[in-house]
Amino acid sequence: MEQAAWALRPFAPAPGTVLAPLIEIPDGGVKEFSFGVGFNVWRMFVLRREGSVYGYLNLCPHYSMPLNHRDNEFMSRDGSKIMCRQHLALFRVEDGACLGGACDGRSLDAVPLRLDNGMIVIA
């Protein structure tokens, strides 16, 4: 089976890596996680929305830059979409698809997650 792009990047965590207790992210909240150090640090963020969690690599498909400027700042003003703070591209929460702006036809790279005994785990 072909490996997903997120898994091929330096410092990518192995499937089964525990990220955090689910309770650390309130409904509607977002939290960033990183692995490794230096220029190639591996960064992702997790959104919790109506009982589900969604994980994406923190790498915008527009210019391959992190989406945020500040800690855990990933959402549009109304909280309904993911927003890249670099050039304001918008992405759908459920699948990371581009909804508008400088990401035309591209998507965020999803990182599969599962819940295990109240913990958020890389699937």
CA distance 60 to 23: 27
**Residue 29 or residue 101: which is nearer to ligand FES going by CB?**
101
Tokens of 70: 């500040």
Q: Which residues partner with 97 through β-bridges?
A: 107
Which window, 7-15, 24-32, 41-49, 100-108, contacts ligand FES (CB under 6 A)? 100-108
List the one residue from 20, 73, 87, 114 that touches ligand FES (CB under 6 A).
Answer: 87
According to DSSP, residue 97 is labeled B
Compute the least distance from the CB of residue 108 to ligand FES, in Å.
Answer: 10
Closest CA to 80 of 55, 46, 49: 49
**Amino acid symbol at 117:** N
In degrees, rounded to 5, the angle at the alpha carbon of residue 6 between the alpha carbons of residues 59 and 66 is: 10
> Which range touches ligand FES (CB under 6 A), out of 4-12, 81-89, 90-98, 109-117?
81-89
* Piece in contact with ligand FES (CB under 6 A), picked from 11-19, 72-80, 97-105, 107-115: 97-105
CB of 99 to ligand FES, least distance (A): 12
